[in-house]
């Protein structure tokens, strides 16, 4: 959901944020770390083989089509507070250059623009970019929206004071490439700030439910790994010094669990697309299972739904 949150599972509709690659956009020699070892980690032979065998470009093409289904901003707009808290945690300053990666309709970019930063957002879903432009215009905010791939950002090296993402970049299928691009786009001494759902939180459990109906493509790791400090260490190594790792909760507030299930089936692109492939009987079962997840987390005692979901807020400084 940022921005979507995407669901772990289902090649054609889960994981988001990556776009079609610009043929003229090639990595600058030396702009990426040469190996995991240089960052303090070590890539296993199994990981190398999995990455080699996985057709990430086909996966991203299918994902893009999924995110252009439904009406994601109907979900994403409810998550705005995550972006506001993230840019506050990053101590965004007026005049700084800020890039919101896998921006969806631009929650973090708009949060930065409200603080008079020079804000841009990049995403692969053209419909979300267009809705972001309309939203920024309506709110009188100056935000530039760019079509682009989180794994091959159409920006220069060390161009931004802050590179951020709210529940968005975590769904790029190739985690390492996405992390490398966040680093490349950020100035040395600049900040990287990301908010990612955790595996054990309500959204993480929802992803598991969806994956039961639509298993993830081979070789794609769960996006919720980004919600664990250990995975961030694996991806970024000593290139980023994490100064803030805080587990927060976002409360999903709906009329009831069934309302939540219906809203996500109607508007959350990956789930909308999955629901459209099911028979009437299976759709009823899926809708019930989708409602059961937030119901288990519900803390409301008045018949409505208030389902807290954990996410990891991470802010770090690029050191190399």
State the pLDDT at residue 52: 52
State the pLDDT at residue 39: 35
On whether the CB atoms of residues 124 and 64 are closer than 8 A, the answer is: yes
Q: How far is CA 122 from the centre of its chain?
A: 12
State the pLDDT at residue 14: 32
State the pLDDT at residue 219: 87
In the chain, the N- to C-terminal Cα span, in Å, equals 31
The residue ranges of the chain whose pLDDT is under 70 are 1-53
Q: What is the pLDDT of residues 80-109, one digit of tens each?
A: 999 999 999 999 999 999 999 999 999 999
**Radius of gyration (C-alpha) of the chain in whole angstroms:** 18
Task: Put the strands of the sheet holding 305-318 in their side by side order.
Answer: 143-147, 118-123, 97-101, 160-166, 186-197, 305-318, 240-254
On whether the CB atoms of residues 6 and 169 are closer than 8 A, the answer is: no
Task: Output b/e per residue, 294-309; b: 16+ Cβ within 10 A.
Answer: bbebbeeeeeebebeb
State the pLDDT at residue 43: 40
What are the structural domains of the chain? 42-199+214-253+310-318 (3.40.50.150)
State the pLDDT at residue 218: 87
Q: How far is CA 119 from the centre of its chain?
A: 18
On whether the CB atoms of residues 308 and 251 are closer than 8 A, the answer is: yes
Q: How far is it, in rounded angstroms, from Cα 312 to Cα 224?
A: 10
Q: How far is it, in rounded angstroms, from Cα 65 to Cα 285?
A: 25
pTM listed for this prediction: 0.83
Distances (CA, A) of 161 to 94, 100, 171: 11, 12, 23
Q: How far is it, in rounded angstroms, from Cα 311 to Cα 72?
A: 19
Please return the burial class of 21, using the count of CB atoms within 10 Å of its CB with bins 0-12, 13-18 and 19+.
middle
Q: Reduce the DSSP state of residue 102 to 3 states and report it.
A: coil
């Amino acid at each position: 959901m940022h921005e979507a949150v995407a669901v772990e599972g289902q090649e054609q509709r889960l994981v988001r944020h990556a776009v079609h690659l610009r043929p003229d956009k090639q990595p600058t020699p030396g702009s990426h770390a040469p190996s995991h070892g240089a960052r303090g980690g070590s890539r296993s032979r199994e990981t190398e083989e999995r990455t080699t065998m996985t057709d990430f470009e086909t996966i991203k093409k299918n994902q893009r089509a999924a995110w252009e289904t439904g009406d994601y901003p109907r979900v994403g707009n409810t998550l705005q507070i995550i972006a506001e808290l993230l840019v506050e945690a990053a101590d965004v300053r007026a005049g700084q250059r800020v890039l919101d990666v896998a921006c969806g309709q631009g929650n973090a970019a708009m949060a930065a623009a409200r603080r008079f930063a020079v804000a841009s957002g990049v995403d692969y879903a053209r419909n979300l970019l267009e809705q972001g432009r309309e939203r920024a215009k309506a709110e009188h905010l100056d935000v530039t929206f760019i079509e682009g791939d989180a794994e091959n950002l159409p920006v220069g090296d060390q161009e931004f004071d802050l590179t951020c993402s709210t529940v968005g970049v975590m769904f790029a299928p190739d985690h390492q490439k996405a992390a490398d691009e966040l680093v490349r786009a950020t100035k040395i001494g600049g900040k990287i700030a990301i908010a990612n759902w955790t595996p054990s939180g309500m959204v993480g459990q929802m992803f598991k439910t969806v994956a039961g109906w639509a298993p993830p493509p081979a070789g794609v790791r769960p996006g919720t790994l980004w919600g664990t400090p250990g995975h961030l260490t694996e991806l970024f190594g000593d290139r980023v010094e994490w100064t803030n790792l805080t587990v927060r909760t976002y409360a999903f507030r709906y009329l009831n669990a069934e309302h939540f299930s219906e809203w996500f089936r109607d508007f959350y692109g990956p789930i909308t697309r999955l629901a459209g492939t099911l028979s009437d009987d299976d759709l009823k079962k899926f809708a019930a299972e989708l409602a059961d997840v937030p119901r288990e987390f519900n803390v409301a005692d008045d018949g409505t739904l208030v389902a807290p979901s954990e996410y990891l807020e991470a802010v770090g400084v690029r050191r190399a």
